[in-house]
Amino acid sequence: MKGALMAELPVILDHTKWRPHSGSFEFGPVSIVADEGKFIALVGPNGAGKSTLLNLVSGIITPIEGRIGLFGKTHKEWKARERGRLMAFLSQDPERPFGFPVSEYIGLGRFPHVGPFRSLGKEDRNIIDEEIGAWGLEHLESRAVSNLSGGEFQRVRLARALVQEPKILLLDEPGNHLDLSSRMGILNRLREEAGGGRCILAVLHDVNDALLYADQVWLVADGRLLCSGSPQEVLQPEKLAQVYGLELTPFTNGEGLMMLGVPSFSRSLPD
């Protein structure tokens, strides 16, 4: 893809390949495009390369072959502050700065817009307050992020990412270790953000979350992109059996959507 069409695409991986300095793992080559306004779920077993793919897109690691395009430019062609306005990344295990109040932590997301030598303006404050309200964090504004529960801190991190107003949002297991209500709240918000035009790339472990919320699924295994498409096309039991070595049972939920259940098993009961 070339010219204006390429410039309109949020993410392009073009024969992208990566390997660590030591070890036998190798990722790629992978060629695929992520469109605007799509919630794309990265699905696959542990060690498949899902986090590696996110790290490549974010620029944390650099491909040894091929290229990655972000709206028609490589990472090096974007200035640091431009990348901050373009993309936000929620990694799997973030650090919590000790004693940092929630409101100030969220406000750090405005840094790419205001720069290092300007204080936050009225518009910045309004954007921050909007996200604090959207995530129900008003009662936590003055609390230190180091004193938050896992679910509270994840909502704070998402608020910080969204005040960046990124066009591309990358998330590594955004619902990990969260209760059902918190996880559903996050996934619903990600669907809304994709509906508003953002490109969402998120690692999801629960295939039913991908079936319910994602627009597309990229199925990853052994450092390769096996297939991509709609959740119903990709997450077929026979394909997942090859990847996970487990036969999942399809069923239809109350809304007529295909879901997947774990197979039943026999357990000997005590006499």
Confidence of residue 270 (pLDDT cuts 50, 70, 90): low
What's residue 5's pLDDT? Answer: 41
Confidence of residue 52 (pLDDT cuts 50, 70, 90): very high
What's residue 3's pLDDT? Answer: 46
Which range among 34-38, 89-93, 168-172, 195-199 shows the weakest confidence by mean pLDDT? Answer: 89-93
What's residue 56's pLDDT? Answer: 97
The CATH code of the domain at 3-235 is 3.40.50.300
- Rounded mean pLDDT, 192-217: 96
Which comes out higher in pLDDT, residue 171 or 180? 171
The count of C-alpha atoms lying within 13 angstroms of the C-alpha of 143, restricted to the half-sphere facing its C-beta, is: 13
Which comes out higher in pLDDT, residue 40 or 267? 40
Give the separation between CA 88 and CA 160, rounded to whole angstroms.
9
Ordered by start, the domain boundaries in the chain are 3-235
What's residue 182's pLDDT? Answer: 87
- pLDDT, the chain, mean: 90
CA torsion sign for 160, 166, 171, 176 is positive
The string of pLDDT tens digits covering residues 222-269 is 999 999 999 999 999 999 999 998 888 888 888 888 889 877 654 555
